Amino acid sequence: MRRWLLLLVAGMAFARAGAGQFLVLSWSGRRVPYDLIEEMRPAGVLLFSSNFAEGPGPIHELRKRYPDLLVFVDQEGGPFNSFRPPGVPRFPGAMALAAAGDPALTRAVARAIGEEVCAAGANVDFAPVLDVNTNPQNPIIGIRSFGADPERVIRQGLAFIAGLKEAGILATAKHFPGHGDTSVDSHLGLPVYPKGSLSAIERVHLPPFEAAVRAGVPLVMTAHILYPDLDPAYPATLSRTILTGLLRDKLGFKGVIVTDDMSMRAIRDRYGLGEAAVRAVQAGADLVIAGRDPERARTIFRALSEAIRQGGISPERLAASAARLKALRSRTRPPCPEPDWRPMLALAKRAARAGVTWVRGDLPIPGAGTLVVGPKIRPRYGDEPSLAALAPRYLPGAHYQEVSEVPTGPEIEATLERAKRFDRVVLGTYHWLGPLPDEMIWLYQGLKALGKPVYVVALGNPDDLVYLDPEPDGYLVTYGFRAVQVEAALEALAGKFVPAGKLPVPVGPYPIGYGKGGVK
C-alpha cells in the first residue's frame, strides 16, 4: 500500500511538472505573481504593457530568480508594442515598413526592436506577423501585415527575423497557416476560411511560413482559425493534421510551436479551455498560452496534468517538447541594460518617413489658410499626439481642431462651422479594428460640401479612401498613428520631403506598388 501511494504521489508530481512544461502564464498589473509561478512552474511568461508600470526592473528580477524562464512579449512595431514606457521609441509597424520597400531598413528596425525586447527583460518576441492580408475587411491583422503580396511579405518578414536575431532575440512567425483572409476577429469568434480556398492557402498564405522555416525561425505561433480544406473538424491550433502533418512533417519545422492565447473566444467558447489545451498539445503544440486570468490558467494546468497522468499525453510526447524547449533556451540571452534610445528614435523617424505613401493630389500645401482636423486616437495601444496637436509645429501657419476617434455630433458641427473660415482642410482618418466610423465619413462629407479642397491623411489601414465619396483632393497614408508617423505626414504636407512609399495592398483603383512620390 505504501509503495502504491508513493508511486501515486510521484506520478502526480511528474504530471504537474510536465503540465508546467507546456504552460505560458500572464498576469495583469505590475506585481509579478510569484505564488502562481511557484505553483505551476511554467515554461514561460507572456508580458503585457501593464506589467511595465514600474519599468522593466521587476521583470529583470524575475529572470534572476528563474534564469531558464522563457519571457515573451508582443513587440511588433505599429499598434502592438507591449513595452512602451516614456522615452522608448515606438516604431512604425509591418505595413509601413513594407511601404518603404527596403529590407535593410526593416532589418535595422527589427534589430532596434530586439534591443527594446532585451531591455524589457524578455528573450522572445512574438513577431513578425507573416499573414498575407488579402482581405481588406480583416478585423485584427491589417497594418500588422507586410501586405497582400506574398513575395513582399517574405522579403520583409525574413529581414525582420534576421534583425531580431542580430539583437539576440528569438523571433516567432505568426499566425500559422495564415490569418490574412478572415473577416472575424479570433478574440471574439472562430474565423473560418472559405471552402475551396486550398489553392489560395498554398499559393498565397503558406509561402511566407515556408520561407521562415527554411530560414530557421525558432518559433511558430498557431492561428485559432478553421481551414475546412485542411481540417474540417478543428481549427489550426487543435489540428494534428495542420500542426504535425503540415508544419512538422511537410514543411520540416523543427522548432517550438506555440499557440495563440487560449482564452480567446474562438477557442474558449467552443472547446473549453482544458480540453482545448490538451488537444493542442496532442496536435503538436509545445507551448500553450493560458491568458491573464489565474483561474483559467489553473483550469488548463489541471487538464494538462490529468492528461499526462492518464496517458493522454504520452512520456514520448513530453520528451519531444522538452528537447525542443531545451534547445530554444540555449539560444536566449540575459536581459540588457537600457540602451541609448536617441539613435533608435532617429531610426524610427527615418522609417516613418520612408513609409509615407502619396496617393492623390499635389504637394506641398501651405500652412497659412489650412485647418488640420485630427482624431485623438484612444490610448488602448499607447497614448500618442494627434495630427491636429502636432500641426502647428510641423506645418507652420496651420490652425488645428482635434476631434474624437469617433467624432461626436457637436464636434462635427463645430468643426464644419470653423472650417468655413479656411482655404483648405487636412483631415486625419483612422480605422484598424473595424471599418471607418460612419461619424468620420459624415465629417468628411460635410467638409467636402463646403466646396474647399480636402486632403486626407489615413493614420491606420490604408483603405479609408474607399469609404470617401467623392474622392479627396489629396490622400496620404502613414499606416499608423505613432507620433513619428504623424510627424512624417505633416512634414510631407509641408514639403520637407517627397514621400516615396508604395502601397503594399490595393486601395480602390490603386494597385499594389502604387505611389506618386519618388526620391528627393
Residue 56: is the preceding peptide bond cis (ω within 30°)? no
Is residue 293 part of the annotated active site? The answer reads no
What is the Cα–Cα distance from 302 to 274, expressed in whole angstroms? Answer: 8
Give alpha helix (H) positions in 22-88. Answer: 34-40, 57-65
3-state secondary structure of 296: helix
Polymer length in residues for the chain: 520
Torsion angle of the four alpha carbons 426, 430, 436, 439, in this order, in degrees rounded to the nearest 10: -60
Spatial separation of the C-alpha atoms in residues 372 and 374, rounded to whole Å: 6
Torsions phi, psi of 122, nearest 5?
Answer: -95, 165
Element (H, E) at 250: none
Contact 454, 460 (CB under 8 A): no
Cβ atoms of 305 and 19 within 8 Å: the answer is: yes
Strand partners, 24: 44, 289
Angstrom distance (rounded) from CA 301 to CA 288: 10
Write down the catalytic residue from 181, 231, 260, 286.
Answer: 260
Judged by DSSP in three states, 377 sits in coil
Q: How far are the Cα atoms of 192, 260, 274, 435 from residue 223, in angstroms, in the given order? A: 11, 6, 18, 23
Closest by CA position to 69, among listed 336, 332, 337, 338: 332
Catalytic sites, residue numbers: 260
